[in-house]
Amino acid sequence: MNDFLYGLTGDIVTPFDPIYREARQGFNRAIQLYPLIIVYCRNKRDVSNAVIWARKHGVPIRLRSGGHNYEGYSNGDCTLVIDISRMNDMNINSCLNLLTVQSGVTNKQVYEFVASEGYPFPGGTCPTVGVSGYTLGGGWGLSCRNFGLGCDSLKEIELINYEGAVIKADRENHSDLFWACQGAGGGNFGVIVTMTFQLPPKINHVTLIEIDYLNVDSSEQKKFLSLWQEWLKTADPRITLISRIYNSVDDGLAMLVRGIFYGKPQEAKQMMTDFLSLKGAEYSIEYMTFLEAVTIIGSFYPPYEKFQSVSRFVLRDFTCAEQSELVDLISERPQGSVFAGISMYALGGRVSEIGTDDTAFYYRNANYIIWLETIWEESRYAKDNKEWINTQFPYLEAVTSGSYVNFPYGRLPDYLEEYYGNHANVLKKIKIKYDPFNVFSFPQGIGRSECSDKTAVYFHKTPLNNEENRIDLPSDTNHRGFRYVSKRNNTVV
Ligand SMILES: Cc1cc2nc3c(=O)[nH]c(=O)nc-3n(C[C@H](O)[C@H](O)[C@H](O)COP(=O)(O)OP(=O)(O)OC[C@H]3O[C@@H](n4cnc5c(N)ncnc54)[C@H](O)[C@@H]3O)c2cc1C
């Protein structure tokens, strides 16, 4: 084995190492994959060596940063996982308001770093999501209507290509590659090792909005959907919300809203009047630092979950009948599900001011992203829950357009068109130009994915029986991503 590993540098984990069992896991524990080797890279040289090594041995590559891909595409059976999560240096050029990071940084690390200099950042909601995976797929966050998607702030990348060489790309140099990485870069063209972002103007305080509605019924969920789509049409671009109707073991039928407003709480309260007057609203609208706000939002995420989901873009209003159908989708949870919900992520504002062809992110004109999800705890219910999503999907598909690549669904029939719309063909050409041998591939990649026979010879599945393999969640795990308003006293502070 040691001869076989010759040429790989960095921290190497194989199935013979005790930490392999944990190291091979991603956020979604419903997905269990067995890579041949995981190499934790410390620098660009390690990444380059890993690419060269994998090609020499015919071992398929997977690229991993935060490990949060819903379908586990940063991992794979009998692959070399190039893990960059230990590459997390950051620095700020305060004259130019630029942030340069090594691509293994997480949302939380970036938030804390930039906030120490007084900046906000258009990152995501979950603290442990990798900024590179997030940005390369577009990057929706609670600042996006004000500052754009994560990928809209990207100024420059450094990428290790299929030959192990470094390419710098920005709007002037390798501009096609740079364009592709603003919404379609995850796992497709090479390993992005450095990213430079334009930082938004410094800001100290924002308003965090949290509203919960517990023990509601289907008609209230329907009213909520109706209000959501009306509200969004005229919403101030300084406010970005996520809203959700759900059905959970803890709360039965319920709803929630979370959001960040770049302004004062009294103004936020006025903007939210209609939501606050819906029956049962319990809320907190509070002025706090940007870091406090994103930390509260982030604190509700569990370390891992078992789930299946599908996302779509919404480009038009739902009729009354469609709203009822949507509410009905979650009126009963599948067997073993502890949470089934439909979440809505507001777009518009700055996101739609950027031209459809300015970046690879295609759905600039969508009103919002809609996301159907089920979470379960015991592995024996996996099949029921996966089938449930598959059964609900055709209805959702019929009333929506395209899917968000950062919320992927493995069973999408024409995934390239669904994720990238009319950009799919250009992306295929850019793929051939920058990765002619499809070295960077995965099941829903822009090229084709395959596992070579040569690899299978070395692949050593760890001898886990079903019982050992089952990783059930701790019973206190939060099933919704957000657990109740942080201060449930209907205050505006
Ligand atoms: C709990 C949770 C909350 C989330 N919240 C949000 C949210 O608020 N907004 C949002 O937009 N998304 C959100 N996501 C989705 C998330 O942005 C995507 O799953 C993202 O791709 C994860 O990035 P990662 O680096 O953590 O994951 P990984 O699984 O490591 O990577 C994701 C994909 O990007 C590729 N990739 C990663 N790093 C690189 C790199 N450096 N170079 C090339 N390819 C790379 C991987 O190969 C893989 O295909 C959430 C996901 C979870 C699980």
In this prediction, residue 367 carries a pLDDT of 98
Claim to verify: residue 77 and residue 115 sit in the same structural domain = no
Summarize the confidence of residues 241-262 as an average pLDDT: 97
Tell me, what CATH number does 106's domain have? Answer: 3.30.465.10
Within-domain flag for 484: no
pLDDT band at 482 (very low <50, low <70, confident <90, very high): low
Residue to mutate, 65, 75, 339, 482, ligand 1, most ligand atoms under 8 Å from C-beta: 65
Claim to verify: residue 169 and residue 219 sit in the same structural domain = no
In the chain, how many domains are there?
3
Within-domain flag for 492: no
Give per-residue pLDDT as tens, 112-133.
999 999 999 999 999 999 999 9
Within-domain flag for 409: yes
Claim to verify: residue 101 and residue 172 sit in the same structural domain = yes
CA of 66 to the centre of ligand 1 (A): 6
* Spatial contact of 171 and 178, defined as CB atoms under 8 Å apart: yes
Claim to verify: residue 118 and residue 194 sit in the same structural domain = yes
In this prediction, residue 158 carries a pLDDT of 98
Q: Which residues pair with 368 in a beta bridge?
A: 314, 346
In this prediction, residue 127 carries a pLDDT of 97
Whether residue 473 is predicted with pLDDT greater than 90 in this model: the reply is no
Whether residue 485 is predicted with pLDDT greater than 80 in this model: the reply is no
Within-domain flag for 45: yes
CA distance 84 to 35: 15
* Spatial contact of 189 and 430, defined as CB atoms under 8 Å apart: yes
CA of 135 to the centre of ligand 1 (A): 8
CA distance 271 to 412: 37
Atom of ligand 1 nearest to the CA of 134: 17
Domain that holds residue 17: 2-85+426-456
Residue to mutate, 31, 51, 136, ligand 1, most ligand atoms under 8 Å from C-beta: 136
Residue to mutate, 64, 178, 240, 373, ligand 1, most ligand atoms under 8 Å from C-beta: 64
CA of 483 to the centre of ligand 1 (A): 22
Within-domain flag for 486: no
In this prediction, residue 487 carries a pLDDT of 52
CA of 188 to the centre of ligand 1 (A): 13
Atom of ligand 1 nearest to the CA of 159: 42
Claim to verify: residue 169 and residue 96 sit in the same structural domain = yes
CA of 247 to the centre of ligand 1 (A): 26
Claim to verify: residue 253 and residue 184 sit in the same structural domain = no
Please tell me the residue having the least CA distance from ligand 1 atom 15.
406
CA of 138 to the centre of ligand 1 (A): 10
Give per-residue pLDDT as tens, 294-319.
999 999 999 999 999 999 999 999 99
Claim to verify: residue 36 and residue 125 sit in the same structural domain = no
pLDDT band at 445 (very low <50, low <70, confident <90, very high): very high
Atom of ligand 1 nearest to the CA of 138: 11
In this prediction, residue 430 carries a pLDDT of 98
Whether residue 474 is predicted with pLDDT greater than 90 in this model: the reply is no
pTM of the model: 0.93
Query: Could you give the percent of the chain with pLDDT greater than 90?
Result: 89
Summarize the confidence of residues 273-284 as an average pLDDT: 97
Atom of ligand 1 nearest to the CA of 73: 49
CA of 311 to the centre of ligand 1 (A): 14
Give per-residue pLDDT as tens, 147-186.
999 999 999 999 999 999 999 999 999 999 999 999 999 9
Summarize the confidence of residues 85-112 as an average pLDDT: 98
CA of 303 to the centre of ligand 1 (A): 15
pLDDT band at 457 (very low <50, low <70, confident <90, very high): very low
In this prediction, residue 489 carries a pLDDT of 59
In this prediction, residue 336 carries a pLDDT of 97
Claim to verify: residue 155 and residue 230 sit in the same structural domain = no
CA of 475 to the centre of ligand 1 (A): 26
Q: Sheet holding 239-248: strands in order across?
A: 307-314, 368-376, 337-346, 239-248, 252-261, 205-213, 281-289, 491-492
Tell me, what CATH number does 355's domain have? Answer: 3.40.462.20
CA distance 26 to 312: 23
* Spatial contact of 252 and 246, defined as CB atoms under 8 Å apart: no
Claim to verify: residue 22 and residue 59 sit in the same structural domain = yes
CA of 357 to the centre of ligand 1 (A): 23
Residues with CB under 6 A from ligand 1: 26-27, 62-70, 73-74, 84, 103, 124-126, 129-130, 132-134, 136-137, 139-141, 185-187, 191-192, 301, 406, 442
Whether residue 237 is predicted with pLDDT greater than 70 in this model: the reply is yes
CA distance 256 to 275: 10
Give per-residue pLDDT as tens, 312-354.
999 999 999 999 999 999 999 999 999 999 999 999 999 999 9
| Beta carbons within 8 Å of 61's beta carbon, 6+ residues apart | 50, 51, 54, 79, 80, 82, 439, 440, 441
In this prediction, residue 454 carries a pLDDT of 41
Summarize the confidence of residues 76-82 as an average pLDDT: 98
- Chain-wide mean pLDDT for the chain? 93
Atom of ligand 1 nearest to the CA of 189: 43
In this prediction, residue 1 carries a pLDDT of 64
Please tell me the residue having the least CA distance from ligand 1 atom 1.
126
Within-domain flag for 420: no
CA distance 419 to 421: 6
In this prediction, residue 447 carries a pLDDT of 86
Claim to verify: residue 170 and residue 117 sit in the same structural domain = yes
CA of 107 to the centre of ligand 1 (A): 10
pLDDT band at 462 (very low <50, low <70, confident <90, very high): very low
CA distances from 432 to 179, 289, 440, 444 (A): 15, 45, 11, 16
Which of 198, 229, 262 represents a domain boundary (last residue)?
A: 198
Within-domain flag for 464: no
Claim to verify: residue 191 and residue 209 sit in the same structural domain = no
Whether residue 15 is predicted with pLDDT greater than 60 in this model: the reply is yes
Query: Could you give the percent of the chain with pLDDT greater than 70?
Result: 90
In this prediction, residue 448 carries a pLDDT of 62
pLDDT band at 2 (very low <50, low <70, confident <90, very high): confident
Claim to verify: residue 217 and residue 310 sit in the same structural domain = yes
